[in-house]
Amino acid sequence: LLGESGGGSVPAGGSLTLSCAAAGRGFSEAAMGWFRQVPGKQRSFVATISNLGATPFYADSVKGRFTISRDNSKNTLYLQMNNLNPEDTAVYYCAARRVATIGVRASLYDFWGQGIQVTVSS
């Protein structure tokens, strides 16, 4: 079970940090990812990280502005988002794989959070 928090509304140029708390066992064996979705479009990849926090990988659109990280002792995944722009407005989802290696396709993920809204105003 995954649950996102930390969303909200910010002006362009602002920052937010999303958290994703994982319940149950196995978090430290699972690669994790962040995706986002706007109405009428498919869910798109944002960032992913392997089970021990190595090999973070980002979508080009967020590279240099977003940072994915995790704390396995707290069963929590994070997404630090800086220099936000209106194009970042979306519902953000965290997701978990049953394996340790990263993935960029949504179809590779086995578990999903309920999503949280991020709105960036111009």
Q: What is the pLDDT along the chain (122 residues), one digit of tens a residue?
A: 999 999 999 999 999 999 999 998 899 999 999 999 999 999 999 999 999 998 899 999 999 999 999 999 999 999 999 999 999 999 999 999 999 999 999 999 999 999 999 999 99
How far apart, in whole angstroms, are the C-alpha atoms of residue 66 and residue 102? Answer: 17
Closest Cα partner for 113 from 73, 77, 85, 62? 77
Residues in Cβ contact with 120 at an 8 Å cutoff, skipping those fewer than 6 apart: 9, 10, 11, 12, 14, 84, 85, 86, 87, 88, 89
Q: DSSP alpha helices (H): ranges in the chain? A: none
How far apart, in whole angstroms, are the C-alpha atoms of residue 56 and residue 108? Answer: 16
Closest Cα partner for 10 from 100, 83, 108? 83
> What secondary structure does DSSP assign to 23-40, as a single string?
-SS-GGG--EEEEEE-TT
How far apart, in whole angstroms, are the C-alpha atoms of residue 113 and residue 34? Answer: 10
Q: Report the pLDDT value the prediction gives residue 24, as an integer from 0 to 100.
A: 84
Closest Cα partner for 26 from 104, 102, 107, 111? 111
